[in-house]
A and B are shown apart, each in its own frame.
Chain A
Amino acid sequence: MLSKQQIAQRIAQELQDRWYVNLGIGIPTLVANYIPEGIEVEFQSENGLLGMGPFPIEGSEDADLINAGKQTVTVLEGGSLFDSAMSFAMIRGQHVQLTVLGAMEVAQNGDIANWKIPNRMVKGMGGAMDLVASAENIIVAMMHTNKRGESKILKTCSLPLTGVGCVKKVVTNLAVLEIKNGAFYLLERAPGVSVEEIQNVTEGTLIVDGEIPEMQL
């Protein structure tokens, strides 16, 4: 079973040279720590920053320079700053090649739910609906099950949706899944996790085609 860091590490293998990438809050943020050798990617923060760098050295933090999670950050050389309309023009206009975000539920038709639980305090969708409605490539980083052990990889989402038919790949603590033809295709298993174990906690249709390799981390 993968740790959160390892989920991020596996997702980082999906990064391609010269991609602009938007990372959501939580596990997705960790992806920036595992950029493969020899490729150049730039991180976009939807509050208006491209070329986002690491957290600042203590004492040099700037209240006027934060990421979408409101954390203090830095700008790399060659970075740029812009307003929110331009930022979402980049996103909706598909100038950002990859979005990585978390989810509460994902369905086999590519639907995603990650912003609202009925009868609970709702904080809002932030930029998630714009991101999932637009990105060419969306990778969801999530735990395979919820705290009660129930599958979050479903036939249909039960929670209010963030976007429809948009997710193509899911990396969980147990597996790498591809969504196509209305089903989850098992591409890889976490080290030491069997196909049967994955099958047992996947409520959606799981296609197991041939020998399923272990992830290489």
Chain B
Amino acid sequence: SSDSAADCDGDADGDVDGEYQLVFSEEWFRQARLTAVKWILETRGYFGFGHRTAYLAIAYFDSFLLRRRVDREAMPWAARLLSVACVSVAAKMEECQVPALSEFDAGDYDFCSASIRRMELLVLSTLGWRMGAVTPFDFLPCFSSRLHPHGGAGAGGRVAL
């Protein structure tokens, strides 16, 4: 196969699916994820990103952890590094102005740009560069135009495209 990232996915899905189910159900993991989501939302506000960017970052965070294991011992900082990378990649997809890696405030941690970039690349390859995702935000214009008294079905159909 020419797609090494996809090979990795296959591996992970094949033999460790059960373990991940276990990890996802553990309390420490739920806490770690909650912290990550909070940080991502705060960072969105700080840079003035769109909500879609935050949604995408959280989606990347989750699908990364579905495919790859992060050890509990490494967890506090690994989850933060992953969060930074996910927000940065989401901003690159969505935003017109992309902050430099050094502009991210990782809180208690101080990640160098090279580490963040390595993590970005790991996220990109783990997700097979499929960085587009459908989010609830994509449907909002369609619904809102239908609710609007003058926005007929035609306008709704256009926006939905």
Same complex for A and B? Answer: no
- Report A's interface with B, CB cutoff 8 A: none
